Amino acid sequence: MNFLFSSLGKKIQVAITGVLLSTFLVFHLMNNLVLFTGPDNFNKMVSVLESIKPIIRIMEFGLLVIIVTHVINAIYLTVSNKKSASNRYTGSSETSSLNSRIMIISGTTILLFFIIHLRYIWYTYQVHLFAENETYYDVLLRDELGYLGHTPTAIFYIIAILFIASHLKHGIQSALKTFGFTEDSKWKVLYSGSVLFWGLIPLAFILIVISIQLGIIN
Ligand code: HEM
């Protein structure tokens, strides 16, 4: 049990929850790619998910626990790394303060993205705040703040997804090290292969947003 709360234990917790969150992202993307096949399929898919609500609720609760574990341990490790680095040497403070400023901006943007995404799309689905004859598909395409037909919201989504991509890139690099891969040739192959993950998945999410804006998904 003590191991779980040691520095290495916390690193492993961040890495494992990161892998689980990435798995969620793959399934979430697959669901949303159905948008390209038209409203009927998308609405049918969401209705099927609605019909197994108790299971979805348990999965959502699991997702919440995973996100909280990931964020709390990651913040703890960042703060303690920073403390021990500033005790060890005084050089390169400009680089580290730039890095931490970037971390703060990207972390805040991702958090804001989650709040907006859940507040508008997820909440509207849960409470069924639909206009007459409006479907799940129509809700996503609304030209209103918080939905993807609204250009400023779409731009914010693209920026947030780019931050998520850079977070995934950095996360995969750290997780490989946590799981014992050192910067040798095997690490290089794995790391180059990981571009398929942190590059392609965010790109596909961005394509969905752009397709809605261009009327390809309409
Ligand atoms: C084009 C981009 C995206 C679209 C169209 C989209 C669409 C949706 C929809 C329709 C829901 C409601 C599902 C339901 O209640 O049945 C939802 C929920 C959710 N989305 Fe997204 N999403 C996008 C990007 C993302 C990204 C990049 C993330 C995370 C990094 C994310 C995380 C979540 C989470 C955590 C939920 C709540 C859990 C759930 O009910 O599945 N979404 N999204």
3-60 pLDDT, tens digit per residue, is: 888 999 999 999 999 999 999 999 999 999 999 999 999 999 999 999 999 999 999 9
DSSP 172-206: HHHHHHHTT--SSHHHHHHHHHTHHHHTHHHHHHH
How far CA 53 is from CA of 47, 50, 208, in Å, comes to 10, 5, 26
pLDDT tens column, 108-160: 899 999 999 999 999 999 999 999 999 999 999 999 999 999 999 999 999 99
Query: 110 with 160: CB under 8 angstroms?
Result: yes
**pLDDT at res. 217:** 98
Q: According to the model, what pLDDT value does residue 109 have?
A: 93
75-119 confidence digits (pLDDT tens): 898 888 878 876 765 555 666 677 778 878 888 899 999 999 999
189 pLDDT band, cuts 50/70/90, is confident
Find all residues with CB under 8 Å of 18, minimum gap 6, and list them: 70, 171, 175
Nearest CA to ligand 1 atom 39: 60
Which CATH architecture does the domain made up of 2-214 adopt? Up-down Bundle (1.20)
The structure's pTM equals 0.91
Residue in 27, 117, 147 to alter for ligand 1 test, most ligand atoms within 8 A of Cβ: 117
Residue-level pLDDT at 200: 95
HSE of 118, CA atoms in CB hemisphere, 13 A: 7
Domain spans of the chain?
Answer: 2-214
Measured in angstroms, how far is the CA atom of residue 118 from the centroid of ligand 1?
7
